[in-house]
Amino acid sequence: MSGSSRRATIAGLGITEMGKVYGRSTTSLAIDAVRLAVTDAGLVLSDLDGLLVTAGVTDSVGIGLASALGLQQLSVLNEVKAFGASAGVMVAQAAAAIAAGSATTVACVFADTPLKPKVSAGQSWGSSASRRKAPGAARGYAGWSLVSGAASPNILYALCTRRHMERYGTTSTQLAHIAVAQRSWAAGNPLATHREPMTVTEHQASRWIAEPLHLLDCCLVSNGAVAVVVTGADRAVYGPRPPVHIWGYGQAHAPRHMHAGSQWGLVTPAARSGPQAMRMAGIGVDDIDVAELYDCYTYTVLVTLEDYGFCAKGEGGAFVSDGRLAPGGALACNTGGGQLSSFYMWGFTPLSEAIVQARGDGGARQAPRNDVLIVSGNGGILEHHSTLVLSPHERGSA
């Protein structure tokens, strides 16, 4: 295999119908996403010799997807479990497999169907998530969390947010500017669940989910699937769509320590994952044109901006409150509306939008510059992080 073919690119993107999609199994949506991505890359299913799968809270799709797709000649097959960081981990693993010559064309797919008819999004997600918990999960320290009420992501992220507020003076109004900016971007995204305008006042008036997090600080719950096809640069260049080059990647993981003196809620694994990916790409934070950041909550965007180095630690609130992240601002961030306003497909939401932007397919929401894009993924309660640096250009040519 030549050096050119081992330079990994993203050649295909497949996104199914999204949101309140009922009557479809998770597997059927995953199959559709892979087929769409393969077609988008100008390939056929038999061209795939690698498949990486990750499932959401329903945990109802796995490596059996290979059989459902009729893939008989795979060299790489795995199920990745890094929660919201999985997308970046999967793309990195696919790129490494291509660089090593162990695969030529790898599909990475996420699918989930937590939403149920006539059941609220919160109840749907919560009932699906509870089924994932292993027996004995409430023993020891986890038992204390359960008894105290600190047992759900909403509560735990609220604790993180409150800690940041207490330490640095971050305010709910500053977080509102993140949600408002992303809603402004969502207006140009036909796939976005919420495209109607939002104001800071409306954000502040939305009900509490877990103080200090309002409803409009929290991500959506969606049914759907997203897939990407990763292949060598020499193969991708002949595809029907512009290739998206993978310049760098990184990941970092840290168990959740909530004891006194820990940095939990203040510094996340993004502080290691981001610089690692940027070093590999040969860029600095000032080179980044577009940031597609994991946004399970507005707070996650703010702390990731700090940890990536867009601003100093503790200055995230001021950084986001001047319209900097909105259309026309200094940093194009979550240009499709993110998981707050568009759809929630774990790390495949920011990844898919980065591909759209790198290709110049954003239409009304296209960022003015797209030479270098950074993509973040966050899993668990700030325990897992992945970062990708992407570009429409071959590395060194931009």
Catalytic residue numbers read 294, 344
- Length of the chain in residues, anyone? 398
Q: Are 232 and 8 in contact (CB under 8 A)?
A: yes
Distance CA 398, CA 396 (A): 6
Contacting residues for 195 by C-beta, under 8 A, at least 6 apart: 186, 187, 189, 337, 341
Give the Å distances, CA to CA, from 280 to 22, 242, 387: 42, 22, 11
Q: For residue 111, how far is the Cα from the chain centroid?
A: 13
Closest CA to 251 of 101, 103, 56, 90: 90
Distance CA 367, CA 373 (A): 11
Distance CA 10, CA 164 (A): 36
